[in-house]
Amino acid sequence: MKAAVIVYPGSNCDRDCKVAAETAVNADVKMVWHKETHLSDDLDLIIIPGGFSYGDYLRCGAMASVSPINAEILRHAERGTSILGICNGFQILCEAGLLEGTLLRNNSLKYICKDVMLDVTNNNTRFTKAYGNQTKAMMTVGNGEGNYFADDDTIKLLEDENRIVFKYLENPNGSKGDIAGIINKKGNVLGMMPHPDRAFAKELGSDDGANVFKSLMQL
């Protein structure tokens, strides 16, 4: 698998994403600086990593979503390349208009770092096939703005189209409908707040995140 991890100023899970993809599926991963203007056509996966792009001083992800590399991300989304946004990456994908909804401040108004048990609500996507009959996945969240919000019509649309991929069993932050991760209509862009890039090996407490990468090998 050929993968690229986009590095924005303030990204801090870029290396984690690289190591996770390498460890889980032996991917060939290169790091791409956000000022680049080309993403090669032979990429199988583009990862938008977590962190605090541009310090999150504006709305989370808003600045990154207009970085020079963004045009290429949009082009690849259109082409059908798999795109995975984790944490700040999810926020960036929402800001870029590739996914519906937005991430608000956690309802506790605090940053929350904890283990979360997820319900794999759709195991029939290219990112979740490998879960098979495994309906639960343990990962961690670490964010201040992980509280997913969209209007009722959008939530209904997501439900009707079976595009809610992960839900929290115990909602940590007030996310509407306990939503932890959603996929776009075409099925090639996944955004999620929990970190598969921190749950890819037993010694980290869980390897349930590895299946996100393994699923992509079954394409």
Active site members: 87, 195
- Span near another protein by CB under 8 A; candidates 24-32, 93-101, 110-118, 179-187: 110-118
Interface residues for another protein in 12-71 (CB under 8 A)?
Answer: 12-13, 15-16, 19-20, 33, 50-52, 54-57
Interface residues for another protein in 162-181 (CB under 8 A)?
Answer: none
Closer residue to another protein (CB): 54 or 148: 54
How distant is the alpha carbon of residue 155 from its chain centre? 18
Is residue 4 within 8 A of residue 33, CB to CB? The reply is no
Is 194 among the residues that bind another protein (CB under 8 A)?
Answer: no
- Span near another protein by CB under 8 A; candidates 106-114, 119-127, 146-154, 158-166: 106-114
Closer residue to another protein (CB): 33 or 159: 33
| Residue among 194, 200, 203, 204 nearest 214 (CA) | 200
Closer residue to another protein (CB): 173 or 188: 173
CA distances from 79 to 16, 18, 137, 188, 213 (A): 26, 23, 30, 9, 20
Interface residues for another protein in 197-216 (CB under 8 A)?
Answer: 197-198, 200, 203-204
Selected binder of another protein within 89, 101, 144, 191 (CB under 8 A): 144
| Residue among 26, 19, 73 nearest 46 (CA) | 73
Phi first, then psi: what are they for 141, rounded to 5°? Answer: -110, 155
The 3-class secondary structure across 74-143, one letter per residue, is HHHHHHCCEEEEECHHHHHHHHCCCCCCEEECCCCCCCEEEEEEEEECCCCCCCCHHHCCCCEEEEEEEE
Closer residue to another protein (CB): 28 or 115: 115
Least CB distance to another protein at residue 126 (A): 23
Binding stretches for another protein (CB under 8 A): 9-10, 12-13, 15-16, 19-20, 33, 50-52, 54-57, 110-115, 140, 142, 144, 195, 197-198, 200, 203-204
